[in-house]
Structure 1
Amino acid sequence: MKQMTMIQALQQAMDGLLQSDGGVVILGEDVGKNGGVFRATDHLQEKYGEQRVIDTPLAESGIIATATGLALNGMKPLAEIQFLGFIYPAYDQMMTHVSRIRSRTLSKYTVPLVIRAPYGGGVRAPEIHSDSTEALFTHMPGLKVVVPSTPYDAKGLLIAAMQDPDPVLFLEPIRSYRSTRGEVPEEMYEVPLGEPALRREGDDVTLIGWGAMMPILLEAAERLAEEAIQCEVIDVRTLYPFEPELIIQSVKKTSRAVVVHEAQLTSGFGAEISSQIQEEAFLYLRSPVARVASYDVPYPFFAMEQDYLPSVDKVMQAVRETMTY
């Protein structure tokens, strides 16, 4: 297997999808000639032509509306929104059409549409470029929400999302695009949607996160091991539909849990995870479920973002407080 960054793994997945299925089209702002703002679609228009890799106007609602029409008529569109913070003009299309067509037509029609959107902070981006509003979309039944954290998962989850008959919002953590490398098979493969991953085993406390939080959790776990605290680390991967079984099993073993996400604390998806742990494993808990998240303010200018975001030190402190409750 070849060592790849996440952006390389995503590009290879899209290349393979375009090659293997003539119904796949990619559309979005600057995805063609420029290869995307992060170069995820670099050279794909040159290879497959302007009818398969389509540059669109700067109109997110139009991108999603067009992709919905294509999906309803037998195509498999892969739409890119340049940043999750730009998706709000398309929210109406996603809520009132994309997520409801299966229900509205009693499953006569489905929308096999994948929406790629880079998201998250830590890269010194301008205003509106670093939002982590994934929880908004988990409250939209009919739409799956997927977040990879490794190059291997990025490729496999994207391919699986493109095979799904229902719409998928595929959120890509920006800071993970080129920060790490991992082994990725050259061939096409799928990582099933809806299945969390156990990243590290431990007996003392369960750390739960997704996306760009995973390297932070794994580093915190390594450093806490030096203090004789063994952390189990779980990568949620699919936020909706959420599958809690692995997390519940882990918390029943460790009796403690810390949920970490870079979205604001209030109504973040960590609250849903905390609630399900309380409902399913309350009698096993030795301390309340802790949450490490960002502050309830708009994402700050980049000079302050490291203070705003969860960090290894913040996670370690939360674990120590949980262990000594």
Structure 2
Amino acid sequence: MNMIQAVNSAMDVAMERDDSVCVFGEDVGYYGGVFRATAGLQKKYGKTRAFDTPINECGIIGVAVGMATYGLKPIAEIQFADYIYPGLDQIVSEAARLRYRSAGEFTAPMVVRTPSGGGIFGGQTHSQSPESIFTHICGVKTVIPSTPYDAKGLLIAAIEDPDPVIFFEPKRIYNGPFDGHYDNPVQPWSKHPASEVPEGYFTIPLGKAKVLREGEALTIVTYGTMVHVAMRAVEDLGVDAEVIDLRTLLPLDIETIEESIKKTGRCIIMHEATRTSGFGSELSALVQERCFYHLEVPIERVTGYDTPYPHSLEWAYFPGPVRTRLAIERVMENVSG
């Protein structure tokens, strides 16, 4: 499976197991979604469980909150992460606070799925990575997979979670991982080990990171598309780096990060989102607080630029192998960038 197929399979499995699970959003029913992630679900489960909505993100998420409150398990698709902002108040003020404000009487077991990041030359209105906004909201879990296998296992776990989950799907790796160069795949998903996704039911616990590569000289902490960029840079340089895929940003598996950095003494944090107030800022602060006396050099960040996402210059904006290699060389040479 590629990631789109894995996401589709996760929803199919969840809907088959539980009649309370439903899917809706713009064009997700008959058409199967702009990326085809919901293809076939309406035909299999009917128009009451997989249906189209108006172009109204506030309404989509608001309806999901109401459905979740009254016992359903809605999966609301926001067509692009850039469009999620009109529904932000519903997430912050309603979904995230429902358990607390009702003293546990009500919960909001809902998932908001949305494609994020660049990779399709969508420019500033189809390419944003707003995950750090949602990690600031108490009561919401934030998930970003990097492989088809993780996408399916994490999404099923998110659907079964009793609280709201924002599920970002890196559109750049929907069909295969890339190393950051224009139209230069690392390896098609069909030949990638992570494409071996079971057809049936399985879950991956939310809040547990994955050590993709063990090493002694350097720790790279990343997630989503940047996992593949990090792995390619490490392989190109031949550095003995440990690469950690967070998978879930909130709740964060800080213990795995801490254990790794205490071993390596060096840390690089990578994400596609803009640098200022990106999730890397929080990671850097946590590492500093918990691992200060184990750090041999300052923490490095490899991120997007503090600019609107460009259209024609997308691949220059994207933090790719060159910037990653430079950061690795600075850290290994004990020189702060």
Partner residue of 2:25 out of 25, 28, 46: 28
Q: Could you state the TM-score of these two structures normalised by the residue count of structure 1?
A: 0.97
After TM superposition, the runs of 4+ consecutive aligned structure 1 residues lying more than 2 A away are: none
8 Å CA contact 1:67–1:113 kept in 2: the answer is yes
- Give deviations 1:17-47, integer Å, cap 9, x for gaps: 1111110110100000110000000111111
- Give deviations 1:93-133, integer Å, cap 9, x for gaps: 11110100111011111000000010001221143100011
* 1:267 pairs with 2:280: no
- Superposition deviation, residue 199 in structure 1: 0.4
Residue equivalent to 1:104: 101
In the alignment, the residues of structure 2 paired with residue 127 and residue 31 of structure 1 have an alpha-carbon distance, to the nearest angstrom, of 23
The one-letter code matched in structure 2 to 1:105 is S
Residue equivalent to 1:222: 235
**Partner SS, residue 199 of structure 2:** coil
| Structure 1 residues 84-233: aligned runs within 5 Å | 84-179=81-176, 180-181=188-189, 182-225=195-238, 229-233=239-243
8 Å CA contact 2:123–2:314 kept in 1: the answer is no
**Partner SS, residue 12 of structure 2:** helix
**Partner SS, residue 199 of structure 1:** strand
8 Å CA contact 1:205–1:256 kept in 2: the answer is yes
In the alignment, the residues of structure 2 paired with residue 90 and residue 236 of structure 1 have an alpha-carbon distance, to the nearest angstrom, of 26
8 Å CA contact 1:224–1:230 kept in 2: the answer is no
**Partner SS, residue 267 of structure 1:** coil
Q: Could you state the TM-score of these two structures normalised by the residue count of structure 2?
A: 0.93
Residue equivalent to 1:255: 265
Residue equivalent to 1:9: 6
8 Å CA contact 2:123–2:310 kept in 1: the answer is no
In the alignment, the residues of structure 1 paired with residue 306 and residue 164 of structure 2 have an alpha-carbon distance, to the nearest angstrom, of 30
- Superposition deviation, residue 257 in structure 1: 0.5
Partner residue of 1:57 out of 49, 54, 58: 54
**Partner SS, residue 128 of structure 2:** coil
Residue equivalent to 1:320: 329
- Calculate percent identity across the aligned residue pairs: 48
* 1:76 pairs with 2:85: no
8 Å CA contact 1:31–1:54 kept in 2: the answer is yes
8 Å CA contact 1:260–1:291 kept in 2: the answer is yes
- Give deviations 1:165-190, integer Å, cap 9, x for gaps: 00000000001110142110111000
In the alignment, the residues of structure 1 paired with residue 248 and residue 273 of structure 2 have an alpha-carbon distance, to the nearest angstrom, of 16
- Give deviations 1:276-307, integer Å, cap 9, x for gaps: 11111111111000000011111111x11111
In the alignment, the residues of structure 2 paired with residue 267 and residue 127 of structure 1 have an alpha-carbon distance, to the nearest angstrom, of 18
In the alignment, the residues of structure 1 paired with residue 265 and residue 28 of structure 2 have an alpha-carbon distance, to the nearest angstrom, of 47
The one-letter code matched in structure 2 to 1:324 is E
8 Å CA contact 2:25–2:52 kept in 1: the answer is yes
8 Å CA contact 2:27–2:53 kept in 1: the answer is yes
Gaps of 5+ in 2: 177-187, 190-194
In the alignment, the residues of structure 2 paired with residue 127 and residue 240 of structure 1 have an alpha-carbon distance, to the nearest angstrom, of 25
The one-letter code matched in structure 1 to 2:210 is A
The one-letter code matched in structure 2 to 1:269 is F
In the alignment, the residues of structure 2 paired with residue 161 and residue 149 of structure 1 have an alpha-carbon distance, to the nearest angstrom, of 15
- Superposition deviation, residue 242 in structure 1: 1.3
Gaps of 5+ in 1: none
**Partner SS, residue 184 of structure 1:** coil
Q: RMSD of the TM alignment (CA)?
A: 0.8
